[in-house]
Amino acid sequence: MSLDKRGYTLIELIVVLVLIGLVLTLAAPRLRNALLTDDLKGAARKMIGIINDLRNEAIREQRDYSLHFDLDANKFWVSYGSMTDEERAVAGEEGSSLPLDIRIHDVWIKGEGKMMRGATRIRFTRRGYTQKSAIHLSSEDGRDLTLILSPFLGKVKVVDKYVDFEIQELRD
């Protein structure tokens, strides 16, 4: 009889599968973090969540809300109509900041134009409506995102580039 049988034993296959599983276990979290933790998209998701919560809260509580932006400090916060001046000041001081490599480039509001410095706000009515507006986010690596708020649809559209609404208004 010939001892020249070719193939792998069950033990060899199990060892290889265990090694592959071990490598994937160690490498997968790093790969996932590298692919999924983009600060620009994370900041956009956070802002979209706040915008959606504001719309829902405005309808549920039947009161007007505002999403404030301090473009110089790169912060944003929420206020509602019956807040006192002191409560608004505290909300502004405790506002959310974006990651260091992400900036609120500008905020465009229909009828008010583009704000690149200072403070501005987007209003949400008790019916859930908002002003047509766009929030432009940019990262240090040169990428831009535009968050477009529709007055009546209740959705935020995300565009992976800078969309200039002032130029579009001049064309219309």
Q: Please write the tens of the pLDDT for every residue from 13-70.
A: 999 999 998 888 887 776 665 555 678 888 899 999 999 998 999 999 999 999 999 9
Dihedral pair phi/psi, residue 122, rounded to 5°:
-110, 130
Closest CA to 65 of 45, 83, 48, 85: 83
Cβ-count burial 72-105 (b if 16+ within 10 Å, e if not): eebbbbbbbeeeeeeeeeebbeebeebeeebbbb
Q: What is the mean pLDDT of the chain?
A: 86
Token pair belonging to 13: 């296959």
pLDDT (0 to 100) of residue 153 = 77
Residues 146, 161: contact at Cβ < 8 Å? yes
DSSP 21: H
Domains (ranges, CATH) in the chain? 39-171 (3.55.40.10)
Confidence of residue 172 (pLDDT cuts 50, 70, 90): very low
- As a dihedral over the C-alpha atoms of residue 98, residue 102, residue 106, residue 110, rounded to 10 degrees, the angle is -70
More confident residue, 89 or 1: 89
